[in-house]
Amino acid sequence: MDILIVDDDPITRLALCAAVEEWSFVPLVAGNAEDALRLLSGDTPPHLLIIDWSMPGMSGPELCKKLRERPDGQFFYILMLTGKDGNDAVVEAMESGADDFLSKPFDPRILKVRLGAGSRIVRLEQTLNQLASRDALTQCWNRRMIDELMSSSIAESNRKGTPLTLMVIDIDHFKNVNDTYGHASGDIALKHTVDILNQNLREYDQVGRYGGEEFVVLLPSTDKSSAWGIAERIRSSIQYSPAIISDAETIPLTVSIGLAEVRNGNETPLSLFERADKALYTAKQKGRNRVIF
Ligand code: GH3
Ligand code: MG
Ligand code: MG
Ligand code: MG
């Protein structure tokens, strides 16, 4: 597990790095709070932090407050490691957002077990996040998460003035798949469909399972005509690569796809979804296995 060490004293940083490496953590270092904030600004920051109290510029408690106020709600487990001691310091550190407190000089065995407790909480948080945001069968985003992503993507598209297209994908006659091959094979077909979606999309496209055999894809910076090309590629990939159940059995699948592009500042997730869903309905009516916008 990655661990960020924030301390203005280079000797302390070196000693902490050596110690945590010995305990199988991967250390990252920052010499002040401002650098720490920069290091933590990415999408996959370290979640376990050792923060010093007294530093030039922003102090440890101020850094804790800033991290707790982050709008994206990223989780951090913060151990404040400081020359200060006494109950007042413990209270102030933890009121500012620290999870744990240890005074310097410290017994390395104590630091090790405290970091062990912290990493258990980080792992628990990660498991909870995964369960709350992913579809258990296919591992793509679940309905809750895709609803959130739809709101934030529409807001971003309006702010930056970039296009955004929503794709709604429904497997054709999926009830027949379950009836013919069984529910377990139906599940394999659903996973296979998500694999094909992922193979045909970019890293920043978002795939979610909206309902039983219905998926949505958010395509940032993509207008409807480019999205149509991507949707056609997905449609034909699915048509020409059946789901493999066993050496002897494959399931042919087709999908119908509806597209809608964000129109103006008044767009909501619901209005965007309804237009894509209407296009999907038309695709079904026109005979399925096609893309409509
Ligand atoms: P259409 O082409 O009009 O979309 O027909 P359809 O049969 O795909 O549509 P319908 O909505 O009637 O059926 C969807 C089926 O998807 C019914 C349901 O049993 C199945 N389904 C929903 N969730 C799951 C799942 O998690 N696993 C499996 N195996 N099947 C599921
Ligand atoms: Mg210091
Ligand atoms: Mg269907
Ligand atoms: Mg359906």
Q: What is the pLDDT of residues 243-253, one digit of tens each?
A: 999 998 999 99
Q: Is 187 in the pocket of ligand 1 (CB under 6 A)?
A: yes
Best CA proximity match to 239, nearest among 206, 196, 183, 277: 196
Q: How far is the CA of 174 from the centre of ligand 4 (A)?
A: 8
Which is it for strands 255-261 and 164-171: parallel, antiparallel or unpaired? Answer: antiparallel
Tell me, using a 6 A CB cutoff, whether residue 173 lines ligand 1.
yes
Which protein residues have their CB within 5 A of the ion that is ligand 3? 170-171, 174, 213
Residues annotated as catalytic are 213
Dist. CA 215 → ligand 1 center (Å): 12
Cβ(135) to ligand 1 under 6 A?
A: no
- How many of the other CB atoms lie within 10 Å of CB of 219? 24
Distance of alpha carbon 24 from alpha carbon 124, whole angstroms: 19
**Residues comprising the chain, all counted:** 293
Q: Hunting for tokens 């309804």 — which residue is that?
A: 274
Instruction: Give per-residue burial for 96-118: e unless 16+ CB within 10 Å, then b.
Output: bbbbbbbbeeeeeeebeebbeeb
Cβ of 12 below 6 Å from ligand 1 = no
d(CA 95, CA 101): 11
The ligand with the least distance to the CA atom of 214 is: 4
CB distance 60 to ligand 1 below 6 Å: no
pLDDT, tens digit, for every residue of 68-115? 999 888 999 999 999 999 999 999 999 999 999 999 999 999 999 999
- Name the DSSP letter for residue 140: S
**pLDDT tens digits for the chain (293 residues)?**
999 999 999 999 999 999 999 999 999 999 999 999 999 998 889 999 999 999 999 999 999 999 999 988 899 999 999 999 999 999 999 999 999 999 999 999 999 999 999 999 999 999 999 999 999 999 999 999 999 999 999 999 999 999 999 999 999 999 999 999 999 999 999 999 999 999 999 999 999 999 999 999 999 999 999 999 999 999 999 999 999 999 989 999 999 999 999 998 899 999 999 999 999 999 999 999 999 99
Structure tokens at 207: 């795939």
User: Which SS3 state, helix, strand or coil, does residue 202 take?
Assistant: coil
Of ligand 1's listed atoms, the one at least distance from the Cα of 175 is 7
| Helix, coil or strand: residue 222 | coil
Best mutation site among 213, 215, 255 for ligand 1 pocket (most ligand atoms within 8 Å of CB): 213
- Record the pTM: 0.85
